[in-house]
Amino acid sequence: MSGFAHELPGRPLPAITPESKPYWDALNEHRLVFQACADCGTVRHYPRPLCAECFSLRVEWVESRGRGTVHSWTVAHHPFHLAFKGLVPYALVTVDMPEGVRVQAPWRGEVATLKLGLPVRVVFERVAPSLTLPAFVRDI
């Protein structure tokens, strides 16, 4: 692995692969997409070359409705990476999406309101000229 500017106090950028490029491109268009097998339809995340159900290499992309429920969470207090020093404490939620995969992303809400099963929806945040990340807010 390479491609992270560890020596810079900037946010680490993903080392995008041919498999993952459509995912990152869609985030820049404020769309959350997942890989799906073009043969059996099984949705998978994170992007990778092969369907583990039918071993097909054929891929299509499905757009998420962006709504899910909280599976777990953490609150980062210690900045293990220089780029996040000014952001701590920050909460991250792991979200069950109805498509059958999970998304881990920052939580934009009160930590005290977090509980298993809490309905949430995705929002999009541009954090660098070429990078948009998902985040979650409470779905009312």
Does residue 50 interact with other proteins by CB under 8 A?
no
**CA nearest 12: which of 75, 80, 76?**
80
DSSP 107: B
Structure tokens at 87: 């952001």
Backbone angles phi, psi at 23, to 5 degrees: -65, -50
8 A C-beta contact, residue 83 and residue 9: yes
Q: Which of 29, 78, 129, 140 binds other proteins (CB under 8 A)?
A: 78
From CA 106, how far away is CA 93, in angstroms rounded?
6
Does residue 101 interact with other proteins by CB under 8 A?
yes
Q: Which of 9, 38, 46, 58 binds other proteins (CB under 8 A)?
A: 46
Cis peptide before 23, with omega less than 30 degrees from 0? no
Does residue 13 interact with other proteins by CB under 8 A?
yes
Q: Which of 62, 75, 126, 139 binds other proteins (CB under 8 A)?
A: 75
Does residue 29 interact with other proteins by CB under 8 A?
no
Which positions lie near other proteins, rule CB under 8 A?
Answer: 1-2, 4, 6, 11-17, 20, 45-46, 48, 53-55, 71-78, 80-81, 84, 87, 89-90, 92, 94, 101-106, 115-116, 127, 131, 133-134
